[in-house]
Structure 1
Amino acid sequence: MENSTEVVSFVLSAYGNIGNLKYLYFSIILLWYISVCVSNTILIVVIYKDRGLHEPMYLLLGHLFLNEISTSTSLYPLLLSQMFSDTHEVTLPWCFLQMCCFYIFGCVQLCNLTAMAYDRYICICYPLHYNVLMSNERVVKIILLVWIYSFTNYMFSFSFILPLTFCGNVINKVFCDQQLVIKLACSVSALTSISDLFFASMSLILPFSLISVSYMKIFWICLIVSKESKQKVLTTCTPQIVSLGNIFVYATFQFVGSRMDIHYLPDEVRVILSIYIHILQPMITPFMYGLYLPKIRQSSKRLLFDKKINMLDI
């Protein structure tokens, strides 16, 4: 058995020796982070300003955009600061904080997509009852419930990680990954493993199951409606399906990669795969919903370009 020493920080070893390329990487990552924040913020402002978008579906979208900014903020600032670090060390509190943010925001995102799938299911399958079953007040309660559920769900799992003692401090990633942190523990109780699987089930399997049921019923309706109605259904559902597909691929890689030996993959590939959801998803979300949904696209044009035209007239 390895000797237990008091670990006060973790080393993120996946950065390696990037030399002078750190300036290039820093510029690219900073630009990307700014783009993520700006694009999602613009769409939040569009939904807030346009009273025609103060509907359940768009309120849930606004919450999704806000969550994308929060998720990115839990990764990018640390990523940027580590670019100029020689040791790539992260203290235990900051590492645990990043883990909490990653998993809580990730759970919030999936629960939010579940709520959006339910909203579309009610809208398409029970259109006459939509205003009764899905009001703005109910959406606010759903969003609050999503946060309470995600927070309590993860805190249950995290409570078993907090007391762990560690016999190592090297994490082979560019961020604090919970599975790799657990592997560094001197001993892991059965309860810790069970709580981790419980969180994975409640935050991944349950939302995906509920979303799948909603979309199966929606697609069943698509088979019997007119071609025009079918096109409208597909237009509103496609962005969610793309987001879910991307998250599912990442979640599968994370689950397999954290529990199995994938060292046969090149370091660069493993690093990219480990963070691509935090790179692509925050940009996919505003792109898919902002450009694909007609009402948001038109509102964005009015907000961004009509004001410019009015200013030029003045």
Structure 2
Amino acid sequence: MRMLNSTQVSYFVFDAYVDTGLLKYLIFTIMMCFYMFIIAANVLLIVVICMNRSLHEPMYIFLCSLFVNELYGSTGLFPFLLIQVLSDIHTVSTSFCYLQIFCLYTYVNVQFYILAVMSYDRYLAICCPLQYNTRMTSKKIAILIALSWFFPLIAIVVMIVLNASLQLCGNTLNTLYCNNYSIVNLACFDTTVNNVYGLIYTFVVLFGLTLLIFYTYIRILKVCFSGSKQTRQKAVSTCTPHLVSLLNFSCGCFCEIVQSRFNLSHTPALSIFLSLYFLVFQPFFNPLLYGLNLSKIHVICKSLLFGKM
């Protein structure tokens, strides 16, 4: 095989797409419906939170940031997939591929950071209620949201710079979209630095933040079980959506990382499902999860959509 360096690879070819004939129009329609629902639901919740002063509380402000991130991640994935499904030639330029990696990987990382910040907010509200207003100030909220976006952006920029310096021996990706690990696998020479950096950062974000979140909820549960029935009900109503969202997202990320890095899935359909699950279903389910379970949002959305009862 002729050696190609990173400057000579001007485009990547996606090998995971198969010819589905007329079925591609059905797939396109289903994906378009998913995307339109994600856009409509997340925009609706952002507008509801921004326009209602009763929702200008830390928990809802962090939720607003979560919904903005889901719009960002979905836009980095769905338009590209829709074009590829209808296209007969599944290629993408190198620069766009790195741009998509930047969008999708920052989306995933920001999601974990925001979920961690939300768990910290619930911990203060339930375990330290008397100190909540003094410790969760407007300035602190702004700093936490800014850091939730800043650290992932810097980390992913470093990862892309490391990838762009690799010498590649091919340009075929066995995925549906641009994936960091798939590009690293095309490298001609040693990729120890890239692999170590990726593993360390994955461990810090996926396992470190997840363990931190579960620790805060264990502390919350201790307070709830020692408190009144009203305290338990309030904690369950506000914390359940956060925990369900975290479990759904972290399990999807973990399965995708394991199957892609260790090639455990021998069924193409299962590999495709796992690679898309945490990117497609998280922004789809979260608006339903929070919109239906948080009573304030649920009541305001109902009044907006169906008129005041």
Do they superpose with TM above 0.5?
yes
Distance 1:69 1:112 in 2: 14
Gapped regions of structure 1 (runs ≥ 5):
310-314
SS at match of 2:88: coil
Question: Does the aligned pair in 2 maintain the 1:150–1:203 contact within 8 Å?
Answer: no
Separation in structure 1 between the aligned mates of residue 194 and residue 29 of structure 2, nearest angstrom: 40
User: Secondary structure of 1:90's partner?
Assistant: strand
| CA deviation profile, 1:244-271 (whole Å, cap 9, x unmatched) | 1111211211221121123522x22211
Which string of whole-angstrom CA distances, capped at 9 and with x for unpartnered residues, describes residues 69-125 of structure 1?
A: 111111000001111221200111111111111111111111000000000000000
2:174 equivalent in structure 1:
172
Give deviations 1:136-159, integer Å, cap 9, x for gaps: 332112111111111112222222
Contact residue 259 and residue 265 of structure 2 kept, 8 A: no
**Equivalent in the alignment of 1:223:** 225
What is the letter of the counterpart of residue 39 of structure 2? Answer: C
Say yes or no: does 1:29 pair with 2:31: yes
> Where does residue 275 of structure 1 map in the other structure?
276
CA distance in 2, matches of 1:264, 1:158: 29
Alignment RMSD: 1.5
1:14 is paired with a residue of what secondary structure?
coil
User: How many aligned positions are there?
Assistant: 306
Q: Give secondary structure in 2 for the equivalent of 1:11.
A: strand
- 1:63 maps to a residue whose letter is S
Task: State whether residues 123 and 130 of structure 1, in contact with CA within 8 Å, keep that contact through their aligned partners in structure 2.
Answer: yes
Query: Is the alpha carbon distance of 1:106 and 1:54 closer, same or farther for their aligned partners in structure 2, counting shifts above 3 Å?
Result: same
In the TM superposition, structure 1's runs of 4+ consecutive aligned residues that sit over 3 Å from their partners are none
- Matched to 1:4, the amino acid is M
Q: TM-score, normalised by structure 1?
A: 0.93
Please say if residues 156 and 195 of structure 1, whose CA atoms lie closer than 8 Å, have aligned partners that are also in contact. no
Q: Give the AA of the match of 1:197.
A: L
Number of the residue aligned with 1:244: 246
Structure-to-structure mapping, 1:106-255, within 5 angstroms: 106-255=108-257
The separation in 2 between residues aligned to 1:40 and 1:159, in whole angstroms, is 32
Contact between 1:55 and 1:136, CA under 8 Å: does it hold in 2?
no
2:47 to 45, 48, 53: 45
Q: Match for residue 306 of structure 2? A: 305
Q: Is the Cα contact below 8 Å between 1:22 and 1:83 reproduced in 2? A: yes
1:13-60 deviation per Cα after TM superposition (whole angstroms, max 9, x unaligned): 111111111111111111110110000100001101110000100000
Q: 1:99: which partner in 2?
A: 101
Query: Residue 179 of structure 1: CA displacement?
Result: 0.9
Structure 2 residue runs of 5 or longer lacking an equivalent are: none
Worse-superposed segment, 179-188 or 153-162: 153-162
Is the CA contact (8 Å cut-off) linking 2:253 and 2:278 kept in structure 1? no
SS in 2 for 1:160: helix
State how far apart, in whole Å, the 2-side matches of 1:8 and 1:188 are. 21
Q: In 2, distance between residues paired with 1:83 and 1:294?
A: 39
Q: Give secondary structure in 1 for the equivalent of 2:239.
A: helix
Give the whole-Å Cα distance in 2 for the aligned partners of 1:8 and 1:222: 57
Q: Secondary structure at the match of 2:164?
A: coil
Distance 1:57 1:90 in 2: 40
Query: TM (normalized to structure 2)?
Result: 0.95
Structure 1 SS opposite 2:232: helix
**Match for 1:278: what amino acid?**
L
The amino acid across from 1:274 in the alignment is S
Distance in 1, Cα, partners of 2:215 & 2:74:
30
- The SS at the match of 1:159 is helix
Tell me if structure 2 keeps the 8 A contact 1:182–1:188. no
AA in 2 matched with 1:114: A
Identical amino acids, percent of aligned pairs: 37
Assess if the C-alpha contact under 8 Å between 1:239 and 1:288 holds in 2.
yes
Q: Provide, for residues 149-205 of structure 1, a one-character-per-residue CA deviation record: whole Å limited to 9, x for no partner.
A: 111122222221111121122211111111111111112332121111122123222
